[in-house]
Amino acid sequence: MTITHPQALAEELTALGPTGRRRAAASAATMFAADVSAPSPALDPVPVVLDAESWAELSAGLVQRARLLDALYADLYGPRTVLDTEVAPAAALLADLAYLRPAVGIPARGAHHLFAVSTTVSRTAEGAWVVHEDAVDVPRGAGLTLELRRVLSRSAPSLYRSTEMRRLHPFFDTLRTSFHQRTRADGRAGRPVVLLDDAEEPLSAFDHSWLANLLGAPTVSVGDLRAGAGAVTLRLSGLASAPGEPVDAVLRLVPSPLLDPLDLGPTPLGGVTGLVEAARCGDVEILNPLGTGLLENPALRAALPDLCRQMLHEDLQLRPAPADAAPALWPSLDPSGGEELTGRPVTLSLLVMGTEDGFEVLPGGIARTADEGPEALKDVWVAVPDTSAVPDEEPTGRPAVEPASRRASVSAYPTMTRSVGSDLFWFGRYLERVDSTARLLRTVLDTSNDLDAEHSRSARAARTVLLRAVTEVTTTYPGFLDLDLRDGEAVRLEIESLLGDVGRPGSLAQSAAALAHTTRTLRDLLSDDVWPVITRMRLQVRGGSVDPRPLEQWLTDIVDGCLTLSGAVADAMPRDLGWDLTEIGRKIERTMSLLALLRAALGHRRGRAAEERIANAVALITESGASYRRSFHAAVQPELLVELLLSDTTLPRSLAFQLDRLGQALDRLPETAPSPELRAPLSALRTRLAAWEPHELLRPLPGAPAGEDAPTALPAEIDAATESLRSLATALEDRFFRASESTSRWGVDDV
Amino acid sequence: MSENAHETRSGQDGATPHGARPLIPLRQEDAPALDPVHYRVHHLTSYRYAKPVTRNYGRAHVEPRATPHQRVLSHEVVVDPAPARLTAHTDFYGNSSTYLLVDAPHEQLDVHSHARVSVAERRYGLEPMSRPWEQCTPEHWGAPMPGASLDFVHPSPRVPGGTAAREISAEVFRPGRAVGECLAELTALIHTEFTYDSAATTVTSTLEEVLGARHGVCQDFSHVGVAAVREAGLAARYVSGYLRTAPSAGGALGTEPAGEMIGSAASHAWLSVLVPGTGWVDIDPTNRTFVDQRFVTTAWGRDYADVPPLKGIVVGPPGASSTLRVAVGVVPETAGTESAD
């Protein structure tokens, strides 16, 4: 049986035609990939449309199922009477590693235990809804459902105008209100509810962060929480000794077994020590509660029809999916490329969430094709029967949000956690690292090609210095230091590795990947314009060696990306602690790379002709050529260039400029007490740089062999300056991000 | 040992290829029951840290539990320095589970458990112990028995199925053999074939490692026993507790090992097997004996991971070292020790 579409939709699909439909699919996938910063799954703009009647039947079944799972959780993690009955698969449940014994007896605060359940269903050819599985330990799909709706409705707007469907946002508005109302009981008003997430995989991280956003709950990592006596607190950036902010509830998207190394066994992530006991004592509510993975047990799923009669005294509405059921077919794009729509079986992932009034089902979801063909994702529409039944924009019958709660939820948004602080700092550092690596490579490759063609001695010397400077600045030893630079193939391979080898620390690809990695936790903090750039950069670096364009143009695209990111940071980021941490990261990184460049390029004296070529390249890399020409009206000489880069406070790539901004940002940091570890390295650095006199620094050392390649005092001075900068960075990390303490297990094993 | 010798010697006398089998404490109509023994139990665990540590979280299963053979007269856990939180709850298996949190810098942590318990004699019915072991599997349990649970029949995190314990099981649980004999044989076999060596294993040693090396401590021997019993399809649980110690010359904290018993003056472990008709039967392979009035029970579970006596997580400066001292005293209450406390 193939389900037919509503008339208006069918007409619009026809009007779009095969090309229009494919184009919509492709553009939706592009948008999706850009938003998620990950490759998009195949998308199919032809929706799964559920009429009001089948939705009523399906959603009633899902609510019943959530009530049943909730009752089962309450029993299995409470009195466990169901295990003694004939109908429960006791042996399978007891043998399930997801049955976390230490979580037994933890009280629930509200009327029910479960906060969210995602259930995968399908429809049989006979029209019955059947269930494939439930995700209860880590429910998922809220963010992806919205994203799918967003990109498909933009790619195929005519389809979305054709038919009236239930909107998704009102559901989350209701949920958010309900969610935050929980926190106003028991004198816990104003305590934040946080979303705990450690998803590495981009699609999950995206899904989770969007849920956090919808619920108005900040995302935190396990390392940000600390269980004390009487409260679980958020550890905030920069306030290592402060008690931290108590949280009311933890909406966890981290699997239960990883949450508490004390009671739930060793966890690779560290977990939150004492969290289980904190929940047992009622300091904090954990949603979904601990150990809900047990509810995903296949034997339990098979026993639900009997359990439903026993526990709810009702017949289970949604039956388990029989292995041999013929599935209903839904109109879809033809996966083999045909022009006509074809029927494909799909599964629907639907989300049920708990509110104060009971469970509600998100009127939409994710449809996945489930046949031999490549999987495609489709939007799920819940049709509105007639206009009179359209839900009001302003939900009626629900109290409007009182000002008090609005205030509470604003203040409830905590200051920055340690992991977010650290990610912002490293976002700044990697942004500069990508930028400086791309600029360095662009100029050096361009210049060295010219020099290579010249065959003069000075050109060869300059080329050698510049290529080796690449190795030194990116610390990708041995790199060019060990290569015969006349071997064109070897040089080409090294350059290719520097661009595209994501496993090589210091390569452009690795820095870009690290940059993208730091942004996982920053979705709420960075401008939306950032994500497409991150995605483009990632794709470009990945496709590096097959890109047919000249390298210079390729590198210019990377530099463009960095400029866009810089712009997004400068124009959209609130000037708060987060901005300061990013700024500090950028300034430290830029100073380090500039010092490394000067050391490698100008640390030794060479012949005048070679020096001029090298200095020209440095001026290009540091964007100081124009300033130089305005200031000195002379050919670029090392001494004058160093003078300019050292002390011109107006030049955004000069050392003076970096140190000024670094000092200002450090001054703005919240500090409970003056911190010598932070101040001392900066003032040491300033004192050292103030004493630098370029003509002295660049004079060949006494006793050095005359002529080419004469060492100067510059390298040693720069090493000392870099050391100060490193101590500053370390002090900052210790103070603001890194857990300055270690945890270790103890136990008495001699029994 | 030859297969033949084994066959002929596995009869009613106490001798087996694994030496003398321990005596099964059977219920005898004519023998008067022994009086319960009252013990004073101390269990002190003491850490000293080289540098002050910031916080300390602990989970303990040190409170003796009430059993058909044991009454708990009093119990108390004292933590020094003063804990920010000290709570106890009854866990999944009915044990008392204690949580402690010290939330201020400290250089030493003392967890001191005191209890007074009364331990009665254990005697098992002749008829149930003489039944073939095959009649002890869950389908023969009949009406629900206290604590009878499928939980103890299945593999558990520290006692996985399919290990070399299957061979031990096959050797012990021979078709038709009386369950009492099987348990005596199992106790003797583990005691003979495994060497007690406190340096051989740690809490993280796996069952496979222990079975391979044939070395271990009482915890490992208990796991081997539990695995062998479960391979036969019977219910076995891991039991944590103490052994009676000799009163020391120095004072009330009797921490001298009593006689030749291994595992006294420390926390101890053994296993318990469900025999329908007479209940849970406890055997101690480490000491080649059925559990008697010298044993004080604190907790049980599927395996060690459910009931470690004391474990924790300390938060402190990186690389801080610590020294550990453990003292256990299980001393019968007599006039002498009573007054010395």
Q: What is the pLDDT of residue A41?
A: 93
Q: Do residues A84 and A162 both lie within one domain?
A: yes
- DSSP assignment of A227-292 equals E-SS-EEEPBTT-TTS--EE-SEEEE-S-GGGS-TTTS---TT---TTHHHHHHTTSSEEESPTTG
Q: What is the pLDDT of residue B337?
A: 43
Instruction: Give B325 or B318, the one with higher predicted confidence.
Output: B325
SS3 for A548-611 is CCCHHHHHHHHHHHHHHHHHHHHHHCCCCHHHHHHHHHHHHHHHHHHHHHHHHHHCEECCHHHH
pLDDT higher than threshold 50 for residue A599:
yes
Residues 6 or more apart in contact with residue A545 via CB below 8 angstroms:
A496, A499, A500
Question: Out of A6-15, A408-417, A570-579, A698-707, which region has the weakest mean confidence (pLDDT)?
Answer: A408-417
Q: A interface mutation test: which of B46, B96, B99 has the most A CBs within 10 A?
A: B99
B85 neighbourhood in chain A, CB within 8 Å: 229-230, 277, 281
Q: Residue range A195-200: average pLDDT?
A: 83
Percentage of residues in chain A with pLDDT exceeding 90?
59
Among the partner residues B157, B269, B318, nearest to A751 by beta-carbon distance:
B269
Q: What is the pLDDT of residue A750?
A: 42
Alpha-carbon gap, residue A526 to A431, rounded angstroms: 13
Q: What is the pLDDT of residue B262?
A: 63
Give how far A86 is from chain B: nearest CA, Å: 13
Q: Do residues A464 and A359 both lie within one domain?
A: no
Q: Do residues A567 and A677 both lie within one domain?
A: yes
The interface predicted TM-score of the complex, written ipTM, equals 0.88
B150 neighbourhood in chain A, CB within 8 Å: 90-91, 94
Q: Do residues A334 and A427 both lie within one domain?
A: no
Give how far A671 is from chain B: nearest CA, Å: 21
Alpha-carbon gap, residue A505 to A510, rounded angstroms: 6
pLDDT higher than threshold 50 for residue B235:
yes
Selected residues 65-104 of chain A with any CB under 8 Å from a CB in chain B: 83-84, 90-91, 94-95, 97, 101-102, 104
Q: Do residues B166 and B99 both lie within one domain?
A: no
- DSSP assignment of A638-669 equals HHHHHHHHHH-TT-TTSHHHHHHHHHHHHHHS
Cβ separation A94–B54 shorter than 8 A: no
Cβ separation B312–A746 shorter than 8 A: yes
Cβ separation A751–B59 shorter than 8 A: no
pLDDT higher than threshold 90 for residue B33:
no
Q: Do residues B155 and B201 both lie within one domain?
A: yes
Cβ separation B313–A273 shorter than 8 A: yes
- DSSP assignment of B228-250 equals HHHHTT--EEEEEEEE-EEPPSS
Q: What is the pLDDT of residue A412?
A: 35
Question: Out of A256-265, A444-453, B107-116, B294-303, which region has the weakest mean confidence (pLDDT)?
Answer: A444-453
pTM value surpassing 0.90: no
Q: What is the pLDDT of residue A34?
A: 84
In 3-state terms chain A splits into helix, strand, coil percentages (rounded to 5) of 55, 15, 35
B57 neighbourhood in chain A, CB within 8 Å: 227, 262, 273-274
Give how far A200 is from chain B: nearest CA, Å: 26
Query: How large is the angle between the packed helices A655-668 and A676-691, nearest 10 degrees?
Result: 160
A367's enclosing H/E stretch is strand A366-369
Cβ separation B315–A749 shorter than 8 A: no
Cβ separation A229–B85 shorter than 8 A: yes
A741 neighbourhood in chain B, CB within 8 Å: 54, 315-318
B92 neighbourhood in chain A, CB within 8 Å: 101-102, 104
Strand B195-196 and strand B215-216: the pairing is parallel
A47-60 core/surface letters (b: 16 or more CB in 10 A; e: else): bbbbeeebbebbbe
**A400 touching B, CB under 8 A?**
no
Tokens in use for A334?
């033809």
**A242 touching B, CB under 8 A?**
no
Evaluate the omega torsion of the peptide bond into residue B81 and state whether it is cis, within 30 degrees of 0: yes
Cβ separation B99–A277 shorter than 8 A: yes
Q: Do residues A142 and A216 both lie within one domain?
A: yes
CATH of the domain at B100: 2.60.40.2250
The domain tally of chain B equals 2
CATH of the domain at B257: 3.10.620.30
Q: Do residues B194 and B275 both lie within one domain?
A: yes
Q: Residue range A372-376: average pLDDT?
A: 94
Confidence of residue B10 (pLDDT cuts 50, 70, 90): very low
Evaluate the omega torsion of the peptide bond into residue A478 and state whether it is cis, within 30 degrees of 0: yes
Instruction: Give A701 or A70, the one with higher predicted confidence.
Output: A70
pLDDT in tens, B160-215: 999 999 999 999 999 999 999 999 999 999 999 999 887 765 656 789 999 999 98
B309 neighbourhood in chain A, CB within 8 Å: 748, 751
Cβ separation A743–B313 shorter than 8 A: yes
The domain tally of chain A equals 2
pLDDT in tens, B38-85: 999 999 999 999 999 999 999 999 999 999 999 999 999 999 999 999
A282 neighbourhood in chain B, CB within 8 Å: none
Q: Do residues B131 and B242 both lie within one domain?
A: yes
- Which residues form the domain of A635? 418-737
Tokens in use for A484?
């015969």
Among the partner residues B269, B313, B320, nearest to A745 by beta-carbon distance:
B313
pLDDT in tens, A387-436: 554 455 444 444 444 444 443 433 334 467 778 888 999 999 999 999 99
Q: Do residues A292 and A374 both lie within one domain?
A: yes
Q: Do residues B222 and B266 both lie within one domain?
A: yes
**A229 touching B, CB under 8 A?**
yes
Cβ separation B326–A748 shorter than 8 A: yes
B182-198 core/surface letters (b: 16 or more CB in 10 A; e: else): bbbbbbbbbbeebebeb
B202 neighbourhood in chain A, CB within 8 Å: 749
Q: Do residues A693 and A549 both lie within one domain?
A: yes
A229 neighbourhood in chain B, CB within 8 Å: 84-85, 101, 103
pLDDT higher than threshold 90 for residue A511:
yes
Give how far B121 is from chain A: nearest CA, Å: 24
Among the partner residues B91, B157, B313, nearest to A262 by beta-carbon distance:
B313
Q: Do residues B128 and B68 both lie within one domain?
A: no
Cβ separation A101–B93 shorter than 8 A: yes
A162-175 core/surface letters (b: 16 or more CB in 10 A; e: else): bbbbbebeebbebb
Question: Out of A59-63, A270-274, B290-294, which region has the weakest mean confidence (pLDDT)?
Answer: A270-274
Confidence of residue A69 (pLDDT cuts 50, 70, 90): very high
**A539 touching B, CB under 8 A?**
no
B54 neighbourhood in chain A, CB within 8 Å: 741
Alpha-carbon gap, residue A230 to A283, rounded angstroms: 6
Cβ separation B312–A747 shorter than 8 A: yes
Where does residue A86 rank: exposed (0-12), middle (13-18), buried (19+ CB within 10 A)?
A: exposed
A262 neighbourhood in chain B, CB within 8 Å: 57-59, 311-313
Q: Is residue A410 part of a domain?
A: no
B149 neighbourhood in chain A, CB within 8 Å: 83, 94
Cβ separation B150–A750 shorter than 8 A: no
Question: Out of A115-129, A376-390, A498-512, B218-232, which region has the weakest mean confidence (pLDDT)?
Answer: A376-390
Q: Do residues B45 and B28 both lie within one domain?
A: no
Confidence of residue B113 (pLDDT cuts 50, 70, 90): very high
Q: What is the mean pLDDT of chain A?
A: 87
Cβ separation A744–B314 shorter than 8 A: yes
Selected residues 271-330 of chain A with any CB under 8 Å from a CB in chain B: 273-274, 277, 280-281
Q: Do residues B86 and B20 both lie within one domain?
A: no
Q: Do residues A423 and A388 both lie within one domain?
A: no
Measure Cα distances from A598 to A595, A641, A691, B58 in Å: 5, 10, 17, 54
Q: Do residues A356 and A458 both lie within one domain?
A: no
Cβ separation B59–A262 shorter than 8 A: yes
Tokens in use for A458?
């000075």
Q: Is residue A743 part of a domain?
A: no
pLDDT in tens, A268-284: 557 899 999 999 999 99
Q: What is the pLDDT of residue A449?
A: 83
DSSP class of residue A366 equals E
Q: Do residues A427 and A388 both lie within one domain?
A: no
**A228 touching B, CB under 8 A?**
yes
- If you count residue pairs, one on A and one on B, with CB atoms under 8 Å apart, how many are there? 118
Cβ separation A741–B315 shorter than 8 A: yes
Q: B interface mutation test: which of A80, A738, A746 has the most B CBs within 10 A?
A: A746
Q: Do residues A127 and A50 both lie within one domain?
A: yes
- Chain A: residue whose CA lies nearest to B99: A277
Most confident of A60-69, A387-396, A621-630: A60-69
Q: Is residue A748 part of a domain?
A: no
Q: Is residue A397 part of a domain?
A: no
Q: What is the pLDDT of residue A159?
A: 95
Confidence of residue A737 (pLDDT cuts 50, 70, 90): confident
- Chain A: residue whose CA lies nearest to B312: A746
B326 neighbourhood in chain A, CB within 8 Å: 748, 750
Q: What is the pLDDT of residue A243?
A: 64
- Which residues form the domain of B228? 3-32+122-306
pLDDT higher than threshold 90 for residue A185:
no
Measure Cα distances from A438 to A424, A513, A582, B327 in Å: 21, 14, 20, 64
Tokens in use for B249?
């010359």
Cβ separation B316–A741 shorter than 8 A: yes
Q: Do residues B8 and B90 both lie within one domain?
A: no
Q: Do residues A127 and A181 both lie within one domain?
A: yes
Long-range contacts for A528-532 (Cβ within 8 Å, ≥24 apart)?
A529/A564, A529/A568, A529/A572, A530/A565, A530/A568, A531/A34, A531/A35, A531/A36, A531/A37, A532/A34, A532/A35
- Chain A: residue whose CA lies nearest to B328: A751
- Among the listed residues B112, B144, B165, the one whose alpha carbon sits nearest the alpha carbon of residue B341: B112
SS3 for A102-160 is HHCCCCCCCCCCCCEEEEEEEEECCCCEEEEEEECCCCCCHHHHHHHHHHHHHHCHHHH
Q: Do residues B16 and B71 both lie within one domain?
A: no
Q: Do residues B97 and B163 both lie within one domain?
A: no
Q: Do residues B216 and B91 both lie within one domain?
A: no
Q: Residue range A569-577: average pLDDT?
A: 87
Instruction: Give B142 or A343, the one with higher predicted confidence.
Output: A343
Alpha-carbon gap, residue A31 to A154, rounded angstroms: 9
The one-letter amino acid at A750: D
Q: Is residue A66 part of a domain?
A: yes
Alpha-carbon gap, residue B302 to A495, rounded angstroms: 59
